[in-house]
Amino acid sequence: MPLGERLGDKTDSRYCGVETEFNDDMPQLLSCNMGGGFDFVVSPLMDPTYRPSLMEAGIPPFAGSDLVLSPLQWSSHVVGKISSWIDLDSEDEILRKDSEIVLKQEIAWASHLSLQACLLPTPKGVSCANYARCVNQILQNLNNMQLWLRIPLEKADDDSLNGNCDPLGKGQVDSWETWNCFRLLCEHHSQLSIALDVLSSLPSTNSLGRWFGESVRAAIIHTNSFLTNARGYPCLSKRHQKLIIAFFNHSIQIVVSGTPVHNLPMGSSELAANHTDNFDSVQRHSLRAYLDYVAYLYQKMDPLPEQERLELGYRDFLQSPLQPLMDNLEAQTYETFEKDTVKYIQYQRAISKALLDRISDEEASSKTTVLMVVGAGRGPLVRASLQAAEETGRKLKVYAVEKNPNAIVTLHSLVKLEGWENIVTIVSCDMRCWDAPEKADILVSELLGSFGDNELSPECLDGAQRFLKQDGVSIPTSYTSFIQPVTTSKLYNDVKSHKDLVHFETAYVVKLHRVARLAPSQPVFTFTHPEYSTTKDNQRYKKLQFEIPHDSGSVLVHGFAGYFDATLYKDVHLGIEPSTATPNMFSWFPIYFPLRTPVCVRPGSPLEVHLWRCCGSTKVWYEWCVTNPSACPIHNSNGRSYWVGL
């Protein structure tokens, strides 16, 4: 049965498995463990004593028939565990050959059974090249089954090693190096993922953080990692608890492994009666107390907020950014943005402050402020402006400028419905082409993209500022873009699946979820409005250096997450940069700049990044590259793959 009911959580992390020894009676094994409350077993498919070199030719090695369970039982409740003795990089040629035969036989059998996944043993020794070669061969022709490479969650916090140790040596210090070596040899294959062995001691928080951007499918918790609480039951340290809850939030399943190491107090069988269905409480599963504790951690998690539940389908889903000048938005897009009440509350606050600064209380009844909403859409900023005027007791004359003829229809209906005919003038025109009948005191716009300037707010407002008074105010007054390096295997593989250059040179809008943020974000480009400089230029170039925290260990950078922060007016701001993000605002997801070839950064080695904003006569585009610790090609040269049309 699932660990519990959590509103909005339909991911695999609801299900908990158990690692078992080999048993040639699979129906009995499954019945015992599922009756004990577990949802699936991680079980060997072959007798561990079998060796091809010791068997006569033609004798099948498998432990029973595929008919002992139904296809649904095989696929839903069994993860195959590949024999742990195999060593494909052994110096012993017989062991190496036996290992290769058995690996291929067992995975072929698991594939025949339509299992969802197989657990591969941890690489052994100083090299994993042959192991990776054989796995890579298998992956080329595998059905939809996942291969989970078992990796111990360990990293020695030894500064003197400085990340230069043999990644697979006997003096292993960082198991991430093992994983990185293996997945690079297998070309980042999307069906190769990770099962982390969670041990009794954990590495640093920064070291753990790397794994949340990797393709971790399961976390195996050993019974000897559990502590004992005051009542004699198993529990976990605060750090382990936090880690397990983070696993749940990242759709990572838990697997309990090992033998009981706690002598449970008398009466624990009565507790079991509340959790079992057809399983006799007297035969309570020996690991049930560990399962109960994992379920307790799951059940005490906060429910997902409503907005998060609505956005579940967008997690780690690549979307092309809007082209607001080339394309007219659809009604559904307008409606989504208009629901973001937080954004419009911030705009109303900014407009109210600007009105109070421009019109004194003595002038309030006699003086009218001219306010222009450029890019009015279906009218949410018009409404916010009029609400600000009512709140401050200031008189307002509003021009609503909008190029989308379909949105203009809605604007006319809104003005008529609200009785704003004497206050609001609707202008059906591109703001860059409009000849305004008078100058504005306040210019209001919502032209910002996920990266601030990526929907061409600078170009639009440059064209509109000619009808702003010399002392006029633009809302927003400025905005800055930010980037930070990230590990995100999911997004990298999704981009790679297109098998072309164009997708690696496109910036995407993404609700980032399975991502490791490797260093604090840094500012990139800033634009200020109005901009009266005689040397005004919207082209930009920035070189940034990121320092990966030393205790993270080595990391793999798949690309960069981009954000923005905007000053609407004075101290009123809004944005999505993580450290200053406006709470509960959902109009923008981050932007993602991929790298064609991920860059491995060792501890102590700075990551040097270059980003350009380029402007042509008909388009604006970004180019980006990494030059340290190794150089990569400049992405999107001359806007060949991705641009925003003027």
**Within this chain, do residues 498 and 418 fall inside the same structural domain, yes or no?**
no
* Alpha-carbon span 542 to 519, nearest angstrom: 17
Between strands 607-615 and 619-628, the pairing is antiparallel
User: Per the annotation, does 296 bind a ligand?
Assistant: no
End-to-end distance of the chain based on CA atoms, in angstroms? 55
pLDDT mean over 131-137 = 98
Question: What's the farthest any 2 CA atoms get from each other in the chain?
Answer: 104
Is residue 81 marked as binding?
A: no
Q: How many domains does the chain have?
A: 3
Q: Which two tokens stand for residue 448?
A: 């910002």
Does a structural domain hold residue 312?
no
Which two three-digit tokens encode residue 43?
């079980």
343 annotated ligand-binding residue: yes
With a cut of 90, say whether residue 352 has pLDDT above it.
yes
pLDDT of residue 574: 96
- Indicate which CATH number applies to the domain containing 403: 3.40.50.150
Same domain (yes/no): 556, 640? yes
Q: Which burial class, exposed, middle or buried, applies to 111 when counting CB atoms under 10 A from its CB (0-12, 13-18, 19+)? A: middle
Note the residue count of the chain. 646
Instruction: For residues 140 and 557, give the distance between their C-alpha atoms in angstroms, rounded to a whole number.
Output: 25
Per-residue tokens: 616: 């042509």
| pLDDT for the residue 10 | 79
3-state secondary structure of 33: helix
pTM of this prediction exceeds 0.95 = no
Please give the mean pLDDT across all residues of the chain. 91
Residue 473 lies in a domain: no
As a whole number, mean pLDDT of residues 105-125 equals 94
**Structural contact between residues 591 and 508, judged by C-beta atoms closer than 8 angstroms:** yes
Of 151, 162, 111, which is closest to residue 128 (Cα–Cα)? 151
Q: What is the pLDDT of residue 280?
A: 43
Residue 431 and residue 482 share a domain: no
Active site residues: 446, 455
Q: Looking at the predicted structure, is the pLDDT value of residue 455 above 90? A: yes
Dihedral (Cα; 17, 20, 24, 28), 10-degree rounding: -50
DSSP code of 315? B
Q: What is the dihedral of CA 29, 31, 35, 40, to 10 degrees?
A: 70
Structural tokens at position 645: 């049309």
Residue ending a domain, among 429, 446, 463, is 446
Rounded Cα gap, residues 190 and 207, in angstroms = 23
Q: What is the pLDDT of residue 265?
A: 67
Render pLDDT for 173-186 as a digit per residue (tens, 0 to 9): 699 999 999 999 99
* Residue 268 pLDDT exceeds 80: no
At 269 the pLDDT is 43
Residue range(s) defining the domain that contains residue 291: 12-304
Give the three-state DSSP class for 246. helix
Residues 391 and 335 in one domain: yes
Residue 463 in domain: no
Torsional class of 237: left (φ above 0), alpha (ψ -120 to 50), beta (otherwise): beta
Q: Give phi and psi for 427, each to the nearest 5.
A: -120, 115
- Please tell me whether residues 23 and 164 are part of one structural domain: yes
- Residue 416 assigned ligand-binding role: no
Residue type, 565: D
Side chain identity at 517, as an amino acid letter? Answer: R
How does DSSP assign 175-242, residue by residue? Answer: HHHHHHHHHHHTTT-TTEEEEEEE-SS---HHHHHGGGGS-EEEEEEEGGG-EE-TTS-EE--HHHHH
**Residue finishing a domain among 304, 321, 350:** 304
Q: What are phi and psi of 200, to 5 degrees?
A: -70, -30
Q: Is 51 inside a domain boundary?
A: yes
DSSP state string for 510-535: -B--S-EE-S--EEEEEEESS---TT
Backbone dihedral region of 162: left (phi > 0), alpha (psi from -120 to 50 degrees) or beta?
A: left
Q: Assess whether 372 and 518 both reside in one domain.
A: no
Q: Are residues 423 and 518 in the same domain?
A: no
Residues 285 and 208 in one domain: yes
385, 248: one domain: no
Edge-first strand order for the sheet with 424-428 is: 424-428, 395-402, 368-374, 440-445, 468-475
pLDDT in tens, 86-112: 999 999 999 999 999 999 999 999 999
Q: Is 563 annotated as a binding residue?
A: no
Is residue 37 domain-resident? yes
CATH of the domain at 66: 3.20.20.150
- Model confidence band, residue 61 (pLDDT cutoffs 50, 70, 90): low
Contact 387, 398 (CB under 8 A): no
**421 with 366, same domain?**
yes
pLDDT over threshold 50, residue 246: yes
Q: Is residue 46 part of a domain?
A: yes
Q: For position 323, what pLDDT does the model report?
A: 83
pLDDT tens for each residue of 181-219? 999 999 999 999 999 999 999 999 999 999 999 999 999
* Whole-angstrom distance, CA of residue 641 vs CA of residue 635: 9
Annotated ligand binding at 89? The verdict is no
* Residue 59 confidence class, pLDDT cut points 50, 70, 90: low
Residue 140: which residues within 8 A CB-CB, separation 6 or more?
A: none
C-alpha 604/C-alpha 549 separation (Å) is 8
CATH code: domain of residue 518: 2.70.160.11
pLDDT of residue 326: 82
Q: Which pLDDT score, from 0 to 100, does residue 298 have?
A: 95
Q: How far apart are the C-alpha atoms of 639 and 502, rounded to whole Å? A: 10
Whether residues 147 and 183 fall in one domain: yes
Q: Is 326 among the domain residues?
A: no
Same domain, 85 and 179: yes
Q: State how far the alpha carbon of 635 is from the alpha carbons of 210, 217, 597, 604, 611, in Å.
A: 25, 31, 11, 26, 10
Rounded Cα distance between 201 and 156, Å, is: 10
Nearest-CA neighbor of 427 among 464, 397, 400, 445? 400
- 5 lies in a domain? no
Alpha-carbon 38 to chain mean position? 28
Q: Which of 170-184, 397-411, 590-604 has the lowest mean pLDDT?
A: 170-184
